[in-house]
């Protein structure tokens, strides 16, 4: 009886601790929006890009879009949550090329029999969340990009980089790119 109460309490603590470590994730608020570069080789050409909104969607209106989008740094051992606001006229989404993701449902939207998006989309004017656990996001660098109408949206500028450091203190500063391998 007291052993069974102790065992149940220990099991609950293990579940709670496992849930807490799995819940650790870097969070970023991005907006996909149109912009026109003022200088450089692409000056005057309408593009789409990502902008960092800060700590919430409240900063999205003033955020300046770029292509490539902002670099997302994920601390060692953490997952990633991307909160996406869509200021484009088309639905859009985000994927991490090479990271594990949940499969699309069989009823995923299709155009002429082809998938419209490789992941769940955010409607024009809407918001959505995308997440990867620390297990899904192995250490290294990733390309994040739109997974919707990829042949158009990536070419318009919807892409950027994610850096996920290895949980290894042997490299000191800067941290490890992979276990035992400094940048």
Inter-residue contact 141 to 162 (CB < 8 Å): yes
Residue of 73, 93, 92, 96 whose CA lies nearest to 25? 73
**pLDDT tens for each residue of the chain, 183 residues long:** 544 444 444 444 433 343 444 458 999 999 999 999 999 899 999 999 999 999 999 999 999 999 999 999 999 889 999 999 999 999 999 999 988 776 666 667 777 777 778 888 999 999 999 999 988 888 888 999 999 999 899 999 999 999 998 887 777 776 888 788 887
Half-sphere exposure of 70 (CA within 13 A, CB side): 17
Give CA separation, 9 vs 6, 106, 147, 152, in Å.
Answer: 5, 40, 44, 54
Inter-residue contact 38 to 56 (CB < 8 Å): no
CB-based burial label for 115 (10 Å; 0-12, 13-18, 19+): middle
Per-residue pLDDT at 129: 96
Residue of 24, 39, 35 whose CA lies nearest to 60? 35
Half-sphere exposure of 118 (CA within 13 A, CB side): 17
| Angstrom distance (rounded) from CA 64 to CA 59 | 10
């Amino acid at each position: 009886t007291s052993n069974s109460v102790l065992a149940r309490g220990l099991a609950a603590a293990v579940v709670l601790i496992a849930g807490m470590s799995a819940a650790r994730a870097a969070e970023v608020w991005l907006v996909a929006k149109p912009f026109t570069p003022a200088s450089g080789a692409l000056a005057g050409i309408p593009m789409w890009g990502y902008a960092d909104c800060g700590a919430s969607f409240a900063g999205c209106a003033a955020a300046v879009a770029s292509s490539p989008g902002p670099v997302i740094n994920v601390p060692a051992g953490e997952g990633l949550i991307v909160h996406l606001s869509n200021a484009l006229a088309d639905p859009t989404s985000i994927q991490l090329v090479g990271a594990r993701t949940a499969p699309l449902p069989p009823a995923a939207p299709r155009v002429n029999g082809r998938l419209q998006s490789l992941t769940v989309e955010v409607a024009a004017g809407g918001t959505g969340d995308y997440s990867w656990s620390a297990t899904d996001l192995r250490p290294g660098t990733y390309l994040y990009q739109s997974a919707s109408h990829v042949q158009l949206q990536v070419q318009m500028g919807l892409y950027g980089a994610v850096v996920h450091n290895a949980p290894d203190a042997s490299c000191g500063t800067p941290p490890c790119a992979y276990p035992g391998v400094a940048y």
